[in-house]
């Protein structure tokens, strides 16, 4: 089946198997290796991307479901060669250990901050429930989310204005 999908602002047209998962299409066909394959069951959130501005777990979405739609990966968050404020906050707050969960966490945090631009620690933890960190780096992740919120609020852009216009939404 032929699909056309816009990924990180670039349109791609490609033949895909009807049963191919979006995560595999992104990584294997389009080279978007920042989208991590974690569990293939939708439990860990490592493969979170934005589909039409809403966070989804790409291991739970068929590539054919992305036909005619827009996908943003963690690689697509940067603008004008500068990392997204959430990416900067994760780096500056050492919000990773092994880094495996980081791309999905960052994508989910963009959604979270679009929904709640100034979450407290409990709201951050609740908002990240569908994304797992196996290294237990949650303290630094929570710190990074609060820092990213402050950066976005200081810039007056909010999470959506700083990237792709992502809407709030729970990962699928």
Q: Per residue of the chain (172 residues), what is the pLDDT tens digit?
A: 999 999 999 999 999 999 999 999 999 999 999 999 988 788 999 999 999 999 999 999 999 999 999 999 999 999 999 999 999 999 999 998 888 999 999 999 999 999 999 999 999 999 999 999 988 878 999 999 999 999 999 988 765 555 444 333 333 3
| Predicted TM-score (pTM) above 0.95 | no
| Spatial distance between the Cα atoms of 71 and 14, rounded to a whole number of angstroms | 15
DSSP letters, 41-110, are: SSSS-TTEEEETTEEEEGGGSBGGGGTT-EEE-GGGS-BTTB--HHHHHHHHTT--SS-SSHHHHHHHHH
| Spatial distance between the Cα atoms of 87 and 59, rounded to a whole number of angstroms | 22
pLDDT score, position 134? 87
In a domain, 116, yes or no: yes
Task: Point out the domain boundary residue: 76, 96, 119.
Answer: 76
In a domain, 17, yes or no: yes
pLDDT score, position 167? 36
The strands making up 10-15's β-sheet, listed across from edge to edge, are 10-15, 2-7, 70-72, 48-51, 54-57
Do residues 69 and 105 share a domain? no
**Nearest CA among 42, 9, 12 for reference residue 25:** 12
Do residues 113 and 133 share a domain? yes
Q: What is the CATH number of the domain that holds 141?
A: 1.10.150.120
Domain region containing 102: 85-161
Do residues 71 and 92 share a domain? no
Do residues 65 and 20 share a domain? yes
In a domain, 119, yes or no: yes
């Amino acid at each position: 089946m032929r699909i056309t999908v816009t990924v990180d602002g670039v349109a791609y047209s490609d033949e895909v198997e009807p049963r191919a998962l979006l995560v595999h299409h992104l990584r294997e066909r389009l080279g978007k290796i920042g989208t991590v394959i974690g569990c293939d069951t939708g439990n860990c959130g490592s493969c979170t991307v934005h589909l039409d501005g809403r966070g989804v777990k790409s291991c739970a979405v068929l590539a054919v479901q992305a036909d005619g739609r827009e996908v943003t990966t963690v690689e697509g968050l940067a603008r004008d060669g500068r990392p997204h404020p959430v990416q900067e906050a994760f780096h500056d707050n050492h919000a990773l250990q092994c880094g495996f969960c980081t791309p999905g966490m960052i994508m989910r945090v963009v959604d979270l901050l679009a929904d709640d631009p100034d979450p407290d620690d409990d709201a951050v933890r609740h908002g990240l429930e569908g994304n797992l960190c196996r290294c237990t780096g949650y303290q630094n992740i929570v710190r990074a989310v609060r820092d990213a919120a402050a950066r976005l609020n200081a810039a007056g852009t909010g999470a959506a204005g700083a990237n792709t216009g992502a809407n709030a939404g729970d990962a699928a």
